[in-house]
Structure 1
Amino acid sequence: MDNVEKTEKLPKFLQTEFDPRDPSPWLALYLDQSTPLPDHVKKAWLADSETPSRQFLLPFVRPIARTLIVLIQIVKVVVPRNWAASKLLHWILATGLKYFVRPEANWLVLRHFHMGAQILEFIAANSPVTVETSPLKPMNLDDLKDELFLKHDLNLFNFVIRLGKSLREANKKLAPVVHPDFSMIKEPEITLDSMPRGKLNGIDLQTAIEMFTPTYQLFLTDNDFWRASNSLQLDETIGLYVATILNSPQHLVLLNNKHPLVPMSTLRAGYRLVLHGLSTEMLHALLMDLKQQHMHQNA
């Protein structure tokens, strides 16, 4: 019975026998080791990607969502500039995730907050100046109701501003660190088994993000939504900070949200948010591997 249960929990691409005449693209991506992702994360990511929701629902949702972004932008012209309903927005997002989104997707969403906090803490700990951080580490989907998506965007910009101000005031720059402090880098304490698995939890991560993006725009001020969209291009900024500390610029090759000085349209915010999540997973995996290497070297 245990073996059957374990098999049933495996994604379809790991249950199907390899057929050279009809190879699974998901199996190829899972077995490929060119991207720095641990197996349990890659398995969840690809299991979410091979779902019928992503194959059949996403192509319809994406153009509708982008059309709504344009229409809401027009509406924002006549709506009072500072109108927002952030508490209601986060209740909608948390409830939608809890009752309609796949467990793998919800697990990846919660992991993202923890990994983002750890990466900023890593930069702060290895900076030549003192930098304040405000880590967000939700343990369940209900924790997101405390405006965590908005706070996540604010934290990122506030960190970059505080770090930049402190470095300028001290006339210093980030530099390679011979023995970096990896103490804050660890596997987030959230399990996939703890995620909701109701009958309606079938929407994949990419489709859910496309659905939620115009909702995010509608219930926030125009300024908050633009800032959230522009925060995605700080992936390269954060990547450069870490690469400088580690003295390893080659690890920037897999970044897609680039050129923070050239803001992109909000129309592709949903797709770019998925890339942001994947980039964060890969950067965290890289730091986890380097932490293990340093521990072995110092043992």
Structure 2
Amino acid sequence: MTPPPGDFLKRWVHDNAWLTPARRELLGRWVDDPTPREEVAEQIGVPLGELLRAFNHTGPISPPVGFRYRSAGFAVTAMEGTCDDIADGRYPQFGSPVTLRCYLADAALLPQGMLEAADWNFMDAGRPGFLGYAYGVRSGETLYLAGVQSDIAVRYSYLFQGRGGETERRVGDDVRLGGADDPAADYADYVPVLRRTFQRYWIQVMLGAVAAWAGTEPDLTELGLLDFPLTSEEDTRGHVVQRVYRELPDRMTTTGRCVRVADSCHPYTVAHFDDVARYLGDRWKPDVRPAA
């Protein structure tokens, strides 16, 4: 598939009227630059959280759409804009950007501090209960995802299982290195709730969030997941990247598709959303009513 030609960054960053001029200048300089964000924040003299909130709120955010997985309720919002993960060549630039955020419907289930501790990307957009996000573009009838991430699911063991040593933790507008026993002690009583509502099933919950939102978009019928080359570290059995980008497509009926942008082929595995729903099964229940 070859999308119509266009300057993606010009349309969605440099000429994005939703952004203030200062935000457009900031994003235009750094959005596709892989310089570590803590170094960028230090260079321009702002807290890391302030910088990343600017990078991760680049368009209007939709009202939440509700869904359930197993016994827990969730909500997903959509932003027509890029997020900070556009750097490093793993975000093919075509179509219209979409950033989906997943939240607990009942934010009181887990302390906000517990959820924020793992959110080093400052992706919550000011809504409590943030759990993870998916990002990519939509083009034609297909939502092409470049990434599906949950920092709290991946960092769970480092933060909440008290294995000693040190770990990073979000505190206010900063990310600080400290003793791993501290967050484990702070939130020990809530670890079972996190495990049974989300951590054990986070990939399915995130896929359910994508499918729930897509169900409100009549023009979307297919889901594509980027089949990017893995690093040597990622290309190991059990690695989270393997579980999301290799094993998950194997559990559905998919076809391969090359999306050609600027003479480069970006391979995706593509499934119909009906097949995504079959994979999620009865544990997943989309809700046509908007979440609170």
**Normalization by structure 1: what TM-score?**
0.25
Q: Which protein shows a greater Rg? A: 1
User: Higher relative contact order at CA 8 Å, sep ≥6: structure 1 or structure 2?
Assistant: 1
Higher strand proportion (structure 1 or 2): 2
Q: TM-score, normalised to structure 2's length?
A: 0.25
